[in-house]
Amino acid sequence: MALATAALAAAGALAATAASAAARPAVIAACTTGQLQTWLGTPGSGAAGSTYYELELSNVSTTTCSLTGYPVVLAVSGAGAALGSPAAHDTAYPPVTVKLAPGGTAHAVLRVTDTGVLPSCSPVTAAGLQIFPPTRAHALSLPFGFSACSSAGPSYLHIRVIHPGPGIPGRSQ
């Protein structure tokens, strides 16, 4: 009898462990720079001295990956030198984890302030953007000419957290 009771208890423990493991979602690895391609939804939509663009991050690999938080965005010269300060975080929306299946796209809204309204800015033309996906040390390059500040100071770039879906300029959050 004691042996039967021990066997039933062990079977119950195994079933509880299996149910608990099934209830936990699988951890999906963060996207690497090599898994992503970036592009910009143009034209942007303008409002009160700023233009808003959909910064798109697409999974071009064959493996599902995830993104959480803010990308680091820098304007760069044709020689690759940083222009001004990195994009400041727009904290109006909380970070969420976005699961990107192969071929999936996530977005973050990039706001570019008109450099003519910034007193401490010496405007120059940027050749593009460098985008570092969250927690990644390698950047993706994106050709994009626009007016940028030549030196560090108050940020003229602002980035929102990554959200699911490709987004539509002027309509997404």
Convert the pLDDT of each residue in 61-98 to its tens digit. 999 999 999 999 999 999 999 999 999 999 998 999 99
Domain 33-164 has CATH 2.60.40: yes
Beta bridge partners, 73, equal: 131
Whether 111 and 168 have beta carbons less than 8 Å apart is answered as no
Task: Provide the pLDDT confidence category of residue 167 given band limits of 50, 70 and 90.
Answer: low
Task: Provide the pLDDT confidence category of residue 16 given band limits of 50, 70 and 90.
Answer: very low
- The model's pTM: 0.79
| pLDDT of 9 strictly over 50 | no
DSSP string, 58-81: EE-SSS-EEEES--EEEEE-TT--
Q: Of 123, 146, 142, 139, whose CA–CA distance to 52 is shortest?
A: 146
pLDDT at 23: 61
Q: What is the mean pLDDT of residues 102-106?
A: 92
Kind plus residue range of the DSSP H or E element containing 135: none
| pLDDT of 155 strictly over 70 | yes
pLDDT at 135: 79
Largest CA distance in the chain: 86
Q: 96-118 b/e with 16+ CB inside 10 Å = b?
A: eebebeeebbbbbbbbbbebeeb
pLDDT at 60: 93
Whether 157 and 91 have beta carbons less than 8 Å apart is answered as no
More confident residue, 85 or 167: 85
pLDDT at 37: 92
Q: What is the mean pLDDT of residues 103-118?
A: 90
Residue-range domain boundaries for the chain: 33-164
Instruction: List all residues 6 or more positions away from 103 whose beta carbon is below 8 Å from its beta carbon.
Output: 58, 59, 60
